[in-house]
Amino acid sequence: MRPTLIWDLPTRLFHWALASSFALAWLTSDSDPWLAVHVFVGYLMLGLVGFRLVWGLVGSHFSRFASFWFGPKAALEYLKQVAKGRAPRHVGHNPTGSLAIYILLGLSVLVGLTGVLTLGGDEQQGLAAGWFSFAQARILKELHELGAIAMLVVVIGHITGVVVESLLHKENLARSMVTGFKQADAGTPKTNARPLVAVLMLLAMLGFGGWWFTYAIDRQIDTQTWNTRLESGTVEEPHVKFVGKQLPDNPQWRDECGSCHNVFYPALLPARSWQKMMTEQDKHFGTDLGFDKATSDAILKFMVDNAAEKHAVEAAYKIEQSIAATDTPLRVTETPYWVKKHREIAASDWANPLVKSKTNCAACHSDADNGTFEDGAMHIPAAPKAVTSAAVAAPVPAASKP
Ligand code: HEC
Ligand code: HEC
């Protein structure tokens, strides 16, 4: 018996990258501001599993599926032997460990794919944006979460197995997944370290991360608004900028409805509310809109086409669900969902000169004019320490025209 290379570098890199991704995905699973990180590690996991499937065919001897192609029966049998304390030592993966690997690979794919689909429906972002409505995404989200829990259970089982095996055969299995070396006899099949493949993997991961956290995310946020406010010192940088696709726009609607106040995107109220608002346009909150018929019709069409019922974004779905079928609210700020979401905002925040009115949506939602109301684009402005003329003049831009 002498120290022998068993795990090639790509396999070790894969193992620890997958483990870290999984841990990071759990840590960021319940936090909207970290969604961009969560989604990143999700895509990373899918990429890693894709690599592993190829490496299982062309990698070194002990990394190939052929070297640990045991069935569930063998896995159970091995488990029984472990329980009796007389399981034989395997230089490569043992039958129970192999089963855990196959289950983890399968679950990674399931969790990764349902994650992409959930993101597409729940947040209307990513590769599957627009494939499902917010309502349909709920089922996908359930599957995503169940898959993740199942994965956690198998991971715990896997770690337990590593500890038990390490004790049973008096060797540190976790360390050998770091160094690649185990004690083996002379006849053991040879493993090539394959450093070049590992370096390429590392570069691909770094490249993907660099692209994701600079270009892929920044491209989508309304950076201009944020930068104005960052410079005026009234907001902190959002944790992670993550704003999805733009909703349909209409210059005429933006001009006409944005002349007195910032526009309220059609997704914020159901179609019947917009119809009523336009029918009663001569008494629009104390003013007369005075649009001619052609203008009225054109604006109304845009609003009805993009009303809350279309569920284009999470906010639209939630607002629509919260309104009783018999109600036709004319104020977004009176819909139950809006009230619920803003109930806990302190009076001092509403009184902030940068906010002034609760209809000043853009004071806290940098994407208000686009109607997306992304979590990542939301930030309550800090009360200006000393109200300087710059701080008062800079923020709260009027309806931005794209
Ligand atoms: C002539 C000025 C004017 C124009 C033009 C105008 N509004 Fe208003 N709008 C107001 C005023 C005033 C209020 C009440 C503001 C407040 O209470 O803070 C208001 C309030 C609203 C509200 C309620 C906000 C809330 O949730 O509390 C909605 C929705 C709204 N307007 C939609 C529209 C739409 C859609 C158009 C274009 C068809 C439009 N407005 C054009 C003056 C105008
Ligand atoms: C004083 C700052 C402030 C103003 C002004 C404000 N909001 Fe908000 N809004 C918040 C905060 C904070 C949350 C997050 C609450 C939470 O996560 O529970 C929020 C959440 C929301 C959400 C839910 C986002 C989601 O998770 O889907 C919507 C939709 C929304 N706001 C719409 C509006 C609209 C429309 C207006 C203007 C009529 C408005 N807000 C004005 C601070 C504000």
User: pLDDT tens for residues 255-264?
Assistant: 999 999 999 9
* 10 contacts 191 by C-beta, under 8 angstroms: no
* Listed residue (197, 191, 211, 224) closest to 91, CA to CA: 191
145-174 pLDDT, tens digit per residue, is 999 999 999 999 999 999 999 999 999 999
> Tens digits of per-residue pLDDT, 30-68?
876 678 889 999 999 999 999 999 999 999 999 999 999
Q: Please report the pLDDT score of residue 378 as a whole number.
A: 78
CA-closest residue to ligand 2 atom 36: 361
Cα–ligand 2 centroid distance for 208 (angstroms): 32
Burial class (CB in 10 A: 0-12, 13-18, 19+), 387: exposed
Distance 340 CA to ligand 2 centre (A): 10
Phi, psi of 11 (to 5 degrees): -65, -40
Is a pLDDT exceeding 50 seen at residue 221? no
Q: What angle do CA 137, 29, 164 make, to 5 degrees?
A: 120
Q: What is the pLDDT of residue 134?
A: 75
Q: Are 136 and 99 in contact (CB under 8 A)?
A: no
CB atoms within 10 A of CB 388: 12
- The pair of structure tokens assigned to 265 is 């995107």
- Can you tell me which residue has the tokens 């089982």? 157
Percent of the chain's residues with pLDDT above 70: 87
pLDDT digits (tens, 9 = 90+) for 186-209: 999 999 999 999 999 999 999 999
Residue 249's pLDDT band, with cuts at 50, 70 and 90, is: very high
In a mutational test of the pocket of ligand 1, which residue from 285, 287, 292, 335 has the highest number of ligand atoms less than 8 Å from its CB?
A: 285
Chain position carrying tokens 């604006």: 299
What is the C-alpha separation between 21 and 36, in angstroms, rounded? 13
Ligand 1 pocket test target in 260, 288, 356, 360 with most atoms within 8 Å of CB: 260
Least confident of 43-47, 78-82, 220-224, 363-367: 220-224
Residue nearest to atom 14 of ligand 2 (CA): 341
44-74 core/surface letters (b: 16 or more CB in 10 A; e: else):
bbbbbbebbeebbeebbbbbbbebbebeeee
Q: How far apart are CA 30 and CA 318, in angstroms?
A: 19
335-356 confidence digits (pLDDT tens): 999 999 999 999 999 999 989 8
In this prediction, residue 152 carries a pLDDT of: 98
Chain segment 66-104, per-residue pLDDT in tens: 999 999 999 999 999 999 999 999 999 999 999 999 999
